[in-house]
Amino acid sequence: MMSTEDQQTDMKSLRIVTGKSADWDELAKDCVCFANARGGRIIIGIEDGEVQPPPGQTIPSGLAEKIVKRTLEALSEDGIISFTGEKRWRRYSVIEG
């Protein structure tokens, strides 16, 4: 089966955002790469070389919100973005420099 990854699509294992092997910095780096290239999609839950999730894979409740929160935290810690406003209506800005 051929992978459908290309310059605008990257597939990541569910392990990148779950458990002790979660790599939030790697995910944040990929977000920055896509932002610099004018966008793209990161599809989480697909193993290398595959086009569909493994049979029986389940997504933990609340994972989407956790991914957004932890990725934004990683970007903020690295000084890549900043937050302004209240939590619910945050504005995100890229820090140039």
Domain ranges of the chain: 9-94
Cα dihedral 72, 22, 60, 8 in deg (nearest 10)? 60
Cα dihedral 89, 10, 58, 23 sign: negative
Cα–Cα dist 26/24, whole Å? 5
pLDDT at 64: 92
Show the low-confidence residues of the chain (pLDDT under 70): 1-3, 82-97
Query: What was the pLDDT predicted at 53?
Result: 94
- Can you give the pLDDT at residue 42? 92
pLDDT tens digits along 2-13: 567 888 899 999
pLDDT of residue 6: 84
Q: What pTM value is reported for the model?
A: 0.73
pLDDT for the residue 65: 92
